[in-house]
């Protein structure tokens, strides 16, 4: 876990990721999905207050927006 701003800086600088989606969990925390523009890497980050924790990460991210699966 890192301070929220430090996590954002790390994901952006190290992997070229930006937030592509976010939502509120049932527990009231913010879930952010980060991805590189080409989808080569992605990260799922849980934010609680000023702290951000990596929940999962991977590769080959594909965003399905308005398309049937």
1-29 pLDDT, tens digit each:
999 999 999 999 999 999 999 999 999 99
Single pTM value for the model: 0.89
What tokens does 64 get?
């399905």
What pLDDT shows up at residue 45? 98
What pLDDT shows up at residue 65? 74
Measured CA angle at 53 (ends 49, 55), to 5 deg? 130
What tokens does 4 get?
């929220």
| Mean pLDDT across the chain | 94
């Amino acid at each position: 876990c890192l301070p929220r701003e430090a996590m954002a800086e790390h994901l952006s600088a190290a992997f070229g990721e930006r937030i592509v989606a976010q939502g509120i969990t049932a527990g009231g925390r913010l879930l952010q999905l980060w991805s590189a523009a080409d989808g080569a890497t992605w990260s799922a980050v849980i934010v609680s207050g000023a702290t951000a924790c990596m929940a999962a990460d991977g590769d080959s991210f594909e965003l399905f927006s308005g398309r049937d699966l």
